[in-house]
């Protein structure tokens, strides 16, 4: 499980929670950890918009080049050193890229072929959460530190439910965590009354609840009551219905793993 984990480090936040979680996964699952530091174009675009009033275009370009150089040095020295301190090991996989955050992450996924991207929640930067609905591999958004003792699995008629039950069972076993399971019949798409039983039979699980409700509404209520450390949800794919972006992660208030 999770053979290779990618942590993408943005300019504006050091993802210490994500790195600590990756370390735990490395110890439990034998995962390989790779990191990519992204020098974000949108940050320089904001700065350039202000510099045009006080600098010539040539001076502004020179200033940007110096900033990029500074951030590359910071990434290769300070950031890498801190990550290696937390992991207590030297990193072979560490790259520094400049570009649009989510595009650079997707490029790294294509080149490095990880099977999980591990991020840290940041309420101030919404751009990176385009990864949640565009990423071709599972996305784990870390919200809290400490052990995972309680996992919520949410399957739905809106998603294919192929990997989510398998991952939930394996994580529960590996982490010694309680796993509570729910199937949500959402009326915004066709409902097959036999689907919950097919999913349960295929994955040898018993549902704690089968309900008719909107996916987000049910999850928000259940998370609040159950105090999950992690919830696992299949990505919504049918009818191009994709609610799982920054707002969803913000309202769940716990770590989220999106799969399928």
Question: Would you say 76 and 68 are in contact if contact means Cβ atoms under 8 Å apart?
Answer: no
Please name which of 176, 132, 143 lies closest in space to residue 250, comparing C-alpha atoms.
Answer: 143
Query: Does residue 56 or residue 14 have the better pLDDT?
Result: 14
pLDDT of amino acid 178: 97
| Angle (CA) 63 68 69, round 5° | 95
Instruction: Please name the residues in contact with 205: beta carbons below 8 A apart, sequence gap of 6 or more.
Output: 153, 165, 169, 181, 199
Query: Does residue 209 or residue 52 have the better pLDDT?
Result: 209
Q: What is the CATH number of domain 4-139?
A: 3.40.50.620
Please name which of 251, 177, 258, 187 lies closest in space to residue 219, comparing C-alpha atoms.
Answer: 251
Query: Does residue 233 or residue 51 have the better pLDDT?
Result: 233
Question: Would you say 179 and 151 are in contact if contact means Cβ atoms under 8 Å apart?
Answer: yes
pLDDT of amino acid 204: 95
3-state secondary structure 160-191: CCCCHHHHHHHHHHHHCCEEEEEEEECCCCCC
> What is the band of 118 on the pLDDT scale with cuts at 50, 70, 90?
very high
Question: Would you say 138 and 257 are in contact if contact means Cβ atoms under 8 Å apart?
Answer: yes
Strand partners, 32: 4
CA R_g for the chain: 20
Q: Where are the domains of the chain?
A: 4-139, 144-259
pLDDT of amino acid 42: 67
pTM (2 d.p.): 0.88
Q: What is the CATH number of domain 144-259?
A: 3.40.50.620
Would the CATH topology of 4-139 be identical to that of 144-259?
A: yes
Distance CA(45)–CA(200), nearest Å, equals: 49
pLDDT of amino acid 202: 95
């Amino acid at each position: 499980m999770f053979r290779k984990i990618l942590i993408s480090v943005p300019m504006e936040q050091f993802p210490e929670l994500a790195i600590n979680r990756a370390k735990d996964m490395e110890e439990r699952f034998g995962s390989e950890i790779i990191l990519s530091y992204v020098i974000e174009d949108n940050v320089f675009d904001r700065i350039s918009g202000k510099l045009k009033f006080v600098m010539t275009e040539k001076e502004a370009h020179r200033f940007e080049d110096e900033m990029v150089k500074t951030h590359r040095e910071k990434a290769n020295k300070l950031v890498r050193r801190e990550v290696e301190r937390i992991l207590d090991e030297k990193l072979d996989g560490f790259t520094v890229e400049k570009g649009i955050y989510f595009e650079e992450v997707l490029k790294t996924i294509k080149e490095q072929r990880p099977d999980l991207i591990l991020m840290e929640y940041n309420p101030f930067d919404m751009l990176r959460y385009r990864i949640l609905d565009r990423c071709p591999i599972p996305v784990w958004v870390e919200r809290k530190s400490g052990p995972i003792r309680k996992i919520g699995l949410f399957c739905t008629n809106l998603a294919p439910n192929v990997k989510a039950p398998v991952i939930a069972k394996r994580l529960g076993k590996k982490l010694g965590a309680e796993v509570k399971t729910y199937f949500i019949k959402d009326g915004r798409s066709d409902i097959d009354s036999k689907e919950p039983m097919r999913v349960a039979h295929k994955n040898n699980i018993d549902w704690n609840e089968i309900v008719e409700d909107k996916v987000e509404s049910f999850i928000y209520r259940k998370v609040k009551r159950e105090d999950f450390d992690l919830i696992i949800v299949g990505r919504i794919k049918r009818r191009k219905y994709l609610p799982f972006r920054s707002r969803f992660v913000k309202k769940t208030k716990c770590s989220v793993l999106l799969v399928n």
